[in-house]
Structure 1
Amino acid sequence: MRQKYRICSVQAEKMLNIKEFAVVEKDTKQVDSTLLRDDHFSLIGEQNYDYAAIVRSAAGGPGELVETLRTPNLFPIADYAEKIAESVIALIDEDNDHCVELFFDDNDLAVADAPMPR
């Protein structure tokens, strides 16, 4: 599955918003990832967080932040959750309204985790 996460810091509303999108249409299966457009992605989950709570959690390190970010509405796999946490920490360091997008392709994980042939 190909997914992207849009992570936005909204200082005026004192919140962090994460939206999870995925390519769900079968007709895009053969489309190269670099050619995917926004309209190929469907919103499959969204979560708002209290910004102050996220800052406190981030101070405890990436592991604690991952625990805070994971909810029943948003529960990315460990590899993705770690990258999301790193991006949230970078947004906190910038301390302004800003969004970042992360793209993930499960095929990349499958290749990375494949055993070495003998």
Structure 2
Amino acid sequence: MQPIGSKHAQVSQTVPGGNTMGVDSPLVIVSTNVYWSNAADDATIVQYLNDLFVKINAAAKSVGKNAGFEYLNYGAEDQDPIKSYGRENIGRLRRAKRKYDPRNVFGTLVEGGFKVPGY
């Protein structure tokens, strides 16, 4: 678990460029590290983790604490963490991408990872 406290959220709003991730209140980021030795169990483990996070999100939502934020560095391949940054921040990312990577070199030559959507 990685907490982001109120001071961090507050200060990140005041730095040059602001907080592109849209984190404006305290939250706790949860990451799992699961290991297994049999490749035949891959689908079972992926399903277990999906079910686990559905339960975690439901529990957080039931007490009004689900931030809806997905941390890009811990994102699974079936997640869309940039989407959780909010419409305004995604717009900022798109404008920066058009300015600094107008030919979409990063988007086409770098395999994998999460890309700025709608480019």
| TM-score (structure 2 length as normaliser) | 0.28
In terms of Rg, which structure is larger? 2
Q: Which has the higher helix share?
A: 2
Q: Which has the higher strand share?
A: 1
| TM-score (structure 1 length as normaliser) | 0.29
